[in-house]
């Protein structure tokens, strides 16, 4: 993946047009279908949304907006939950 890909919408040269995009979910590279949303990214990790929060490129995406927030090429999705600590 090259720097030039970052942030540009739509299918990328070098990938199959209209079929997939590259994102990172909790630091791991992942390919999701074109048109995938934050909700799809969460479903890669868990089927339960309870106690989970999402940041898309360092901004919180409220739970109610997961299904209406589309992902773009090279987006960084962080899916967090509470763990033992402190």
Partner 1 sequence: MTNTGSTGTEEEDRDAGAADDTLVLGGEKFTSRLIMGTGGAPSLEVLDEALAASGTEITTVAMRRLDPSSRGSVLDVLRARGIKVLPNTAGCYTAGEAVLTARLAREALGTPWVKLEVISDDRTLLPDPIETFDAAERLVADGFVVLPYIGDDPALARRLEQAGCAAVMPLGSPIGSGLGIRNPHNIELIVEAAGVPVILDAGIGTASDAALAMELGCDAVLLASAVTRARRPGLMAAAMKHAVTAGRLARLAGRIPRRRYAEASSPAIAAGAHV
Interaction of residue 29 with partner 1, rule CB under 8 A? no
CA gap 76, 61 in Å, rounded: 12
CA gap 61, 22 in Å, rounded: 19
> Of 9, 14, 27, 29, which one interacts with partner 1 (CB under 8 A)?
27
CA gap 61, 71 in Å, rounded: 12
Interaction of residue 8 with partner 1, rule CB under 8 A? no
Interaction of residue 78 with partner 1, rule CB under 8 A? yes
> Of 11, 20, 52, 76, which one interacts with partner 1 (CB under 8 A)?
52
Q: Judge whether 23 and 74 are in contact, CB under 8 Å.
A: yes
Residues forming contacts to partner 1 in the complex (CB under 8 A) are 26-27, 45-46, 51-55, 58, 60, 62-63, 78-86
């Amino acid at each position: 993946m090259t720097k030039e890909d970052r942030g540009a919408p739509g299918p990328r040269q070098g990938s199959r047009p209209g079929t997939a995009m590259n994102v990172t979910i909790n630091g791991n590279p992942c390919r999701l279908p074109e048109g995938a949303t934050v909700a799809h990214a969460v479903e890669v990790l868990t089927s339960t949304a309870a106690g989970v929060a999402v940041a898309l490129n360092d901004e919180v995406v409220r739970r109610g907006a997961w299904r209406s927030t589309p992902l773009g090429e090279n987006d960084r999705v962080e899916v967090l939950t509470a763990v033992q600590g402190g």
